[in-house]
Amino acid sequence: MELYSVNGGLQLAVKTPCNPISGPAAITGNTLTLGKLAAGAMGCAGESSAQEQWVMQFLSRPIEMSFVQDTLTWRTGADTLSFKSK
C-alpha cells in the first residue's frame, strides 16, 4: 500500500495478488477515508481472490490510524493492518 500526492490531492495505490487497486484518499485527524476505488480487470480464484475481497472490504470503511515507535497501524472494525518501518 502506498499513499502519494497527485496535483495536490492524495491517492492510494495497493497491489494485491490479483490486481492493482487505486483511488482518492483523504486524511482528517487520524482517520483515512477513501473515495471510489478502481481495480484491475484480471480475474483470479481461490486464496488470491479471497485476499483481494478482504482488501476491498477493509478499504471501504473509514480507517483509524495510529503510529507508535516504528509501526503504523490501520484499524477498521475488527480488522487491523500494521506496517513496520525497516
In angstroms, how far is the first alpha carbon of the chain from the final one?
Answer: 15
Confidence grade of residue 76 (pLDDT, cut at 50, 70, 90): very high
Reported as a single tens digit per residue, the pLDDT across 10-21 is 999 988 888 888
Reported as a single tens digit per residue, the pLDDT across 31-48 is 999 999 888 766 777 777
Buried-exposed string 30-41: b where 16+ CB fall within 10 A, e elsewhere: eebebeebebee
Q: What is the pTM of this model?
A: 0.80
Report the top-level CATH class of 2-84: mainly beta
Provide DSSP, the chain.
Answer: -EEEEETTEEEEEEE-SS-EEEEEEEEETTEEEE---EE------HHHHHHHHHHHHHHTS-EEEEEETTEEEEEETTEEEEEE--
Lookup result for grid cell 481461490: 46
